[in-house]
Amino acid sequence: MTILYSVIIFSILIFVHELGHFAVAKATGIKVEEFALGMGPAILKKTRGETQYSLRIFPVGGFCAMEGEDEDSEDERAFNNKPFFVKAGVLVAGSAMNLLLAVLILSCIVLYFGTPTTTLDKINLDSPAAVAGISEGDRVSYINNVKINEWEDVSSAINSGDSKAIKIEVIRDGEVIVKDITPVEEDGRMIIGITPTFQKNPVYAVKYGALATWEMGGKMVDVIGQLFTGEVSTKELMGPLGIVNAVGDSAQYGFIYVAQLAALISLNLAIVNMLPIPALDGGRILLLFIRKMTGKIISDEVEGKIHLVGFALLIGLMVYVTYQDVLRIF
């Protein structure tokens, strides 16, 4: 199952990434020579129009081969002959698709579990809320005269003070009921012993999925910055072998955990791929910008060689992180 999950995750993430490049390239009139899923020798090929679509023997990876992507081309529809913003759009599209995939996966997870409402499901026995007369089915409308719109507002209001009494207003069968409740501390936070009901609302699921993606993305950017400042060791980096091991660990707890890890990897791919490093899309965009500012000082051929060097360095990094994965696992 670990191998199966890993192959599925890598295949989907890379396919979605390359699909982003492919879709924008086609939409902007760039000549796409081949769109492939997998790597190695092709086992299935089909040509439609000017593009060959292929399925390759190793189901991990894929590519979108465009005319003039890494070399000079006289074709007016070649990648290298398109305006700056068109080329940049094609390059950004891959990471954008991985970002959207992360939001989609996390939104589906939120929808599966549901989102908390302001209507109460359970009241803990002998809790401050139970003692005050709060009942199941009550809908919290105000706390300390502040309107409650979602469950996060309830948590924030209860934890806004220490053990001071709060005035909570609930709606019960259309009747407004006001109670004074003194929160108690448990595990470092203030509680009154209430649990919300959950609803499966697609709109809220997308909202919370996007918020979760934003929070994870912020943490990833912080860690990347700490790598450059030395606050985080490069020994903490994880390569494909480490990811497969993490997939195996997640699979022990169920599909939802694997899906959450897939969202994390997809977001990581989106962010890392935008770093200004040659061979990555971020590095390609940086060189595009430099060429736009400096004219033809850097030719398409020279840019291709720069990316080739960057690719070699990335392979070296991959070997290093794989070695660290082996040490960490075994």
What confidence tens digit (pLDDT) does each residue in 123-138 have? Answer: 999 899 999 999 999 9
Q: Check residue 26 and give its pLDDT.
A: 95
Residue 163 has pLDDT above 70, yes or no: no
pLDDT for 24-46, tens place per residue? 999 999 999 999 988 889 999 99
Q: Would you call 186 a catalytic residue per the annotation?
A: no
> What are the backbone angles phi and psi of residue 225, rounded to the nearest 5°?
-65, -40
Residue 300 has pLDDT above 80, yes or no: no
The pTM of the full predicted model, rounded to 2 decimals, is 0.83
Are 33 and 53 a contacting pair, CB within 8 Å? Answer: no
Residue 54 has pLDDT above 80, yes or no: yes
Rounded-to-10 torsion of CA 314, 219, 234, 251 = -80
Spatial distance between the Cα atoms of 112 and 202, rounded to a whole number of angstroms:
10
pLDDT for 305-326, tens place per residue? 888 888 898 888 888 888 888 8
Mean pLDDT of 43-55: 93
Mean pLDDT of 281-291: 90
- Taking phi over 0 as left and psi of -120 to 50 as alpha, with beta for the rest, 124 belongs to beta
pLDDT for 180-194, tens place per residue? 998 988 888 888 999
Chain region(s) in the chain for CATH 2.30.42.10: 116-199
Q: Which of 98-107, 128-137, 223-232 has the highest mean pLDDT?
A: 98-107
The single residue of 18, 67, 69, 303 carrying the catalytic annotation is: 18
Which one of 3.30.70.1110, 3.40.50.2300, 2.30.42.10, 3.40.50.300 gives the CATH number of domain 116-199? 2.30.42.10
Mean pLDDT of 106-128: 93
Q: Could you give the C-alpha distances from 149 to 5, 32, 152, 248, in angstroms and in order?
A: 39, 49, 8, 40
Percent of the chain at pLDDT above 70? 99
